[in-house]
Chains A and B, each alone.
Chain A
């Protein structure tokens, strides 16, 4: 049996094992592999930097625990940190029931907690928790915030939260940051929020798998910019200077995993070409 034939017959579990090792190596010790900053991440950062004092920002935490544990957690934490360092009002909200409790998890991050020290709950930021109904809920919220959400995550009525006095509908928001796992996410916000407020700027923290779909909205100018998966999160952390060795380990592990996948893709294609036309090979 030729080398290529043996390679074709290799057990998938061997590949899994190689991936475990390749990913595990940088997780034990950071390798500090080079990472360039993409223009999208720079634009994402610029959009938040350009916010005027007192601007109201909606922070859509539309994530699943799996998405949050992988790519979206670092994105959400870096974005929240950045927003808390600016003199803006933040309304945290989630249209995913699994995303709502994770808002408080974002606040627990040491960088975010530090930036929140000078901010007062109810005056500078609020957590409106989960709103059911998916896209229908988004539409209801866009039309009338007070009717859709009678109270915040602690049960405090909106009337007792001073910053909510001026926030009645989607027209009162200057920027929407949507950290999204899937549906409802960016496209639903476009349909229900941006369609009602054409001046609403949108930033989207996207899973890698959703990037190709989201790029179309960025190219058309409907989104100001996007963060591209875990890589985008690490780039953003580098810009904000809040990158930790654990984050570097994550991005190193990602690079290593891609290198392994690329090597296997290359070997697979070489094998295909080498055995093409051979007796018993692919035609």
Chain B
């Protein structure tokens, strides 16, 4: 068995007196495509934040490439984070910058400060950017201003940024929640195809359950901060899905 990229053991996160996530056991292996599903507030975003080290666990531990995140020095933490690429719900692109700079922003962890500043004046690694944008179908938008793009195009730029970063695993937080259905389907297809083609590992939270089954090979169901099920996509039944989203009624307090 290969080494796990990320291991969560007994991991829990508490905000105030509310547990956002509790007793999570999870191991992510290279090449997997994992979907996180569950109703709003189930802890999907917190789950992803645990994986990339932006949230520290209140209980348990998070190991990335075998190293306990809590024990890392800031510089080591940054090097580890550079190997995980995150795509966000709101894309998190910088509107006034040209597309090429937003894509190059994925390379910042590897670049020196001088190189990063210089690149804003005269862009570095244009070919690499061109290639990444080509893969997401935006080869002609390299020098466009990012806020001149449409929502679907912007999400593709975010994807290209992650490709430029070239991480071991891609973490996507609701990558299509702000897109219309057609644009959403295109981005999901692209994400799946790129992961297969480039042999990338993927963890994505999704609010459209169907994509979990059609685009991923493993599904983790979350509800009120707990993992309800975690199994291959082929073994997820309709009842399990219905149970996951059922409105809790007179349920005993956890």
Physical interaction between A and B: no
B residues touching A (Cβ–Cβ < 8 Å)? Answer: none
